[in-house]
Amino acid sequence: MRLACMVAWVTVWATCIAFRHQVALALWALPPMAPLDRLLANVQRYVQQSPKDAHGHYVLARLHSLAFAKGEKAYVAARPNKPLKFRDTEPFFAERPKGAGVPNQIALDHLAKSIRHYRIAVQLKPKEALYWLGLGWVLEQGMKFANKLPAPFLEKPEIVSAEEWRKQALNAYRQAFRLSFEKEISERKPRLYGEMGLPSGSIAQEAGEAILRLQRGRKLSLLERWEVNRVEGALEELKKLPRAITPIIFPVGNTLSLSDLVSSRSVIFDLNGDGIKERWQWVTPKACFLVWDGEQTGQVTSGLQLFGSVTWWMFWRNGYEALAALDDDGNGWLEGKELDGIFVWHDRNSNGVSERGEVLPLSHFGIVRISVKATNRIGETLFNPKGIQLLDGTFLPTYDWVSKPVNP
């Protein structure tokens, strides 16, 4: 029954946005925050000055992998004035576009440099699972071009088989999995989709899935079959870990800090949209949610209606990405007809129930524009200090607040 409800939601949503499809395709381009060629030059200079900094080599390796996938003239979502920081909106796994054809020598050189710097990073800091995951990824990409790129993982690079590349990638993924799985299970930290740029927010899950991917379709030895069974079981355990959910919230009437909006109490609500009501952290009466109420029912029954990480059961990296799906003209703001279907839920008594008079039109609050982009971060919460523009020209902040499940 629950699956049927989810399918119904997705079907309805797909129908509603079909007419927006062509414009929405442009939304998934990364925000033009920093030119890749400049970042490469800056981080290369930093690494030359600090050759023992493992993180510097990791960042340089990741930039080279982006240059391999997108070209040197691309823009990436790095943090302004912080070339050693990536935004979570920059996907960790950079892929060449489908149909891009065989990469030229410049692109292959970037791939080789990415592998070399990842190898230096794991040598300097061998217990950093994220570095091993990155190394596995670029080695896996190199499999496809093994006959064109001398293997950078050899002391004297030469052309080797794609199978040798596969073995190297598999070993790197195994290290990433070994270093991260027990830690993630023991910490039981709620996962946030898109954290670190990873789709699942989990190093162990990404590494485990990669191990299975590289072993799929092969004739496995007894030891390899044991490994596959172990990884499959581990992935099932990882899926049971709690998941953090992000609804976008904003203050009522005044510019308030995030701490003013988050309550110490919790409520029973289906925040992750799976049909099961559970206890979650909640907000104070000073906070409002941006919600989708396309049929104007005046009711909010689950996180599928909140603009956040599970809006319409689409698994967004954050609520701003969900809002961006409605930005028809791609100007970074929802305004005019683009606001149709969006309402405000003001849970005045903070009980997690949308009662009569609590779900109100945007006009009730004087809202005329909503930004679809985050500009900063507080801890793990993305926010925009000018996320909402009011009729009088003033602004209110929006927060992609990370709510976590509360144990009974």
Per-residue pLDDT tens for 327-343?
Answer: 999 899 999 999 999 99
pLDDT digits (tens, 9 = 90+) for 108-161: 999 999 999 999 999 999 999 999 999 999 999 999 999 999 999 999 999 999
* pLDDT above 90 for 206: yes
Nearest to 206 by CA among 189, 241, 187, 231: 231
Which of the four pLDDT bands, split at 50, 70 and 90, describes residue 73? confident
Which of the four pLDDT bands, split at 50, 70 and 90, describes residue 23? very low
* pLDDT above 70 for 203: yes
Which of the four pLDDT bands, split at 50, 70 and 90, describes residue 408? low
Instruction: Tally DSSP H helices, then E strands, for the chain.
Output: 11, 15
Query: How buried is 218 (Cβ within 10 angstroms: 0-12 exposed, 13-18 middle, 19+ buried)?
Result: exposed
**What CA–CA distance (Å, rounded) separates 101 from 71?**
13
Give the model's pLDDT for residue 16: 40
What's the sign of the alpha-carbon dihedral 296, 299, 303, 307? positive
pLDDT exceeding 90 applies to what percent of the chain? Answer: 63
Q: Tokens for 88?
A: 């979570």
Which of the four pLDDT bands, split at 50, 70 and 90, describes residue 20? very low
* pTM as predicted: 0.65
Which of the four pLDDT bands, split at 50, 70 and 90, describes residue 195? low
Give the model's pLDDT for residue 274: 76
**What CA–CA distance (Å, rounded) separates 157 from 7?**
50
Specify the higher pLDDT residue, 57 or 321: 57
Nearest to 308 by CA among 325, 333, 331, 284: 325
Q: Tokens for 64?
A: 């080279």
pLDDT digits (tens, 9 = 90+) for 339-396: 999 999 999 999 999 999 999 999 999 999 999 999 988 888 889 999 999 999 999 9
DSSP single-letter state for residue 245: B
Q: What are phi and psi of 41, to 5 degrees?
A: -65, -45
Region 266-275: mean pLDDT is 89
The residue ranges of every structural domain in the chain are 31-239, 248-400
Which of the four pLDDT bands, split at 50, 70 and 90, describes residue 199? low
**What CA–CA distance (Å, rounded) separates 245 from 272?**
6
Average pLDDT score, the chain: 85
pLDDT digits (tens, 9 = 90+) for 283-325: 999 999 999 998 899 999 999 999 998 888 776 878 998 999 8
Nearest to 336 by CA among 285, 389, 295: 389
Q: Tokens for 191?
A: 């996962």
Which of the four pLDDT bands, split at 50, 70 and 90, describes residue 90? low
* pLDDT above 50 for 223: yes
Give the model's pLDDT for residue 77: 62
Angle at 225 between CA 219 and CA 227, to 5 degrees: 130
Total residue count of the chain as it appears in this document: 408
CATH number for region 31-239: 1.25.40
pLDDT digits (tens, 9 = 90+) for 24-50: 322 222 333 567 888 888 889 999 999
**What CA–CA distance (Å, rounded) separates 173 from 170?**
5
Which of the four pLDDT bands, split at 50, 70 and 90, describes residue 8? very low
**What CA–CA distance (Å, rounded) separates 283 from 267?**
9
Give the model's pLDDT for residue 75: 67
Give the model's pLDDT for residue 89: 53
Give the model's pLDDT for residue 378: 84
Q: Tokens for 67?
A: 């240059």
pLDDT exceeding 70 applies to what percent of the chain? Answer: 84
Give the model's pLDDT for residue 313: 73
- Our CA dihedral for 75, 79, 84, 90, rounded to 10 degrees, sits at -50
Specify the higher pLDDT residue, 405 or 319: 319
